[in-house]
A and B are shown apart, each in its own frame.
Chain A
Amino acid sequence: MKKTPTKQTVILNLLLTFSTLVSILPMVYMLSTALRPNGALYEFPPRFFPSLDAITLENFSFVLFQSTFYLNFLNSVFVSVVSVALAAIVSAALGFILGKFNFKGKKILFALIIVTMIIPGTTLIVPQFELAFKLGAVNKLPWLIPFYVAWVIPFSTFMIKGFMEGIPNEILDAAFIDGADIFTIFFRIALPLASPAIASVSIFNFLTAWEEYPWANTVINDNNLRTLPIAIAGFFGQHQFTQWGYVFAMSTISLIPILLVFIFFQKYFVTGLSAGSVKG
């Protein structure tokens, strides 16, 4: 037997439908602008949806086949994937040692790592630029990676350390009695056990690297070396704010990997977010 929904349920769902529309309409408008001819700067009258016969993929085909946009896409994939992998392994190692061992200065070291989370990343852009200048890292794509990794280490270490602390000592001690050393215990036992925590921080680290704008915009000048956010922003500025169709086709394409990551790793990202906050 089907229960008829109560009046309260109907109202709740109506409110949620409304706020869902508010949440997604800008992205729908982005997509609908990308799907119409690029020529018309501002159509008059502007339409939210293009008329069916006006729908075209010409913006997408231009962006994918006639521009260097695919290079920007590959640059972003390279920088983000390597940053996430490197951040995962070094933060897991930090979290393992800080969570499972005692040594002199441990508390101070952990506090030093955590306290940097308070500082907005962009405030460090001037000394970081000076550092990049000294290292010869200006306009070199792979050099974005250590900056991004350093950026995400505090939050990642904090989350993974909390998870490592929850692994029973007995498991690690048993492995030790069987003759395993710290390396073996880390790679064979702690790392696999902590994989849910590592997965959840990795999703956020991927998003951070994928969408990062101020730093990449400061150190990368060459168009072929640009990552997606600065390529899109650069293209937008370069064309005197007229090529909206191309801009939004690029935006739509750059959104796809993020959507895939979040859809496939749904369960990890919710646990990750809540673990950090509920403790607080």
Chain B
Amino acid sequence: MDSKLQSNKRQMIVLLFPGLLIFGVFTIYPIAKLFLMSFFQWDFGSMLDQEFIGFSNYKDVLSDSFFWMTFANTLAYTFITVPAQMLLGLLVAVLIHEIKRLQVFFRVMHYLPVITSWVIVSLVFRYIFNTEGLLNYFLNNTLNVVDGNIRWLDSRWSALSVAMLLGIWKGVGWNMVIFLAALQQVPSDLYEAAEIDGCNAFLRFFTITLPSIRGTILFAWIMLTIGGFNVFTSIKMITGGGPAHQTDTMLTWMYYKAFSTGKLGYSASLSFMMALTLGLLAFFQFKAMKDKDMEAKNLK
């Protein structure tokens, strides 16, 4: 840019100001406050009168068996839904990429679950998996494979499985769209050369397609991991965390502690640990991919 234009600092500041003000007050301040609150005895009843208690909240969280249960639930949710969504999304993307007609139609149809709100799809899944619902009727009376109605939502792992199934079902479309965009960027002469060399479709996928879309895989992996840890609304709607908090995830548990028992300090330290862990995780995910990149370049 021209240096004289550059020198008009006042107008630059005026343009930056509104965005930075909103971002600072409603995002940066809460992040700082979260960190501070995690060291205080901060209860709902005494919003104005808090006592510094060091790492007590952290100790409370880490010695709480309920926390570890919700941690295990969140981890299971993330480890199962993230790869499943990516694999299915990639599969659908490859299928759509290979056909010539109706690409737009199939893309829109698969994207429908993504744009339907979490509240709605969670209620639909709850309705389908209800003890007197459609699925049990289908299994019981149409297929005759089970005897009596299964209480899907009344025990820990079957209820969590319903939430996971919902997470996978809702996420496939997002993966499909970004993988499809990546597939369309792969230069077609690479495939032509490989074909001449006698590579079959299977080999071409693993030697050309996958390495070419590595950046997109990383992007999806990081975004979905964050999303997996963020699971909240579906659990609230499908089980409400029950029975006896067995299906709570870290965030629904944090929310319960804050807004039902009033332990804001406890929740703040839980949230802070979670945000920090995710930050580090994303950092290492990036690093792992970057290192692989370097390796690949060195080999060449």
Contact = CB atoms under 8 A, between A and B. Distances in A.
A118 B279 contact: yes
A119 to B, nearest CB: 5
Given A122-B230, A150-B25, A24 B109 contact: yes
A19 B116 contact: no
A45 interface: yes
Nearest to B30: A127
B146 interface: no
Contacts, number: 290
Contact of A255 (B11, B33, B120, B132): B120
Nearest to A231: B119
A113 interface: yes
Contacts of B100: 9
Given A12-B95, A127-B30, A229-B117, A30 B124 contact: yes
Interface in B1-43: 1-2, 4-6, 8-9, 11-12, 14-16, 18-20, 22-23, 25-31, 33-34, 37
Interface stretch (B172-180, B192-200, B202-210): B172-180
Nearest to A116: B27
B185 to A, nearest CB: 6
Given A119-B275, A122-B232, A169-B1, A280 B218 contact: yes
Nearest to A98: B16
Which secondary structure dominates chain A's binding surface?
helix
Interface in A183-222: 183, 185-186, 207, 210-211, 213-214, 218
A90 B119 contact: no
Contacts of A255: 116-117, 120
B181 A23 contact: no
A78 interface: no
Interface string B246-284: 000001001100110000100110011011001100100
B127 A97 contact: no
Interface in A244-263: 244, 247-248, 251, 254-255, 258-259, 262-263
B108 interface: yes
Which secondary structure dominates chain B's binding surface?
helix
A74 interface: no
Nearest to B35: A127
A266 interface: yes
B71 interface: no
B1 A118 contact: no
A68 B17 CA distance: 39
Interface string B138-177: 0001000000000000000000000000000100111001
A126 interface: yes
Given A90-B22, A218-B259, A233-B237, A173 B119 contact: no
Interface stretch (A50-58, A59-67, A100-108): A100-108
Interface in A14-61: 15-16, 19-20, 22-24, 26-27, 29-30, 33, 41-42, 44-46, 48
B26 A207 contact: no
A280 to B, nearest CB: 4
A82 interface: no
Interface in B77-100: 88, 92, 95-96, 98-100
A102 B12 CA distance: 11
Nearest to B4: A176
Contact of A120 (B20, B127, B128, B275): B275
Contacts of B264: 126, 130
Given A127-B30, A214-B255, A23 B119 contact: no
Contacts of B20: 94, 109
B258 A126 contact: yes
25 contacts: A16-B96, A16-B106, A19-B172, A24-B109, A27-B116, A27-B124, A30-B124, A46-B133, A90-B19, A93-B19, A102-B6, A126-B34, A127-B268, A154-B27, A172-B1, A214-B255, A228-B117, A229-B119, A233-B236, A251-B119, A255-B117, A255-B120, A266-B104, A274-B178, A277-B220
Given A26-B121, A127-B33, 10 more contacts: A16-B96, A93-B18, A121-B230, A127-B268, A150-B26, A176-B4, A185-B5, A211-B118, A213-B118, A229-B119
Task: Give the 8 A-B CB pairs with smallest separation, nearest first.
Answer: A274-B181, A211-B117, A150-B26, A90-B19, A120-B230, A280-B219, A127-B33, A127-B30
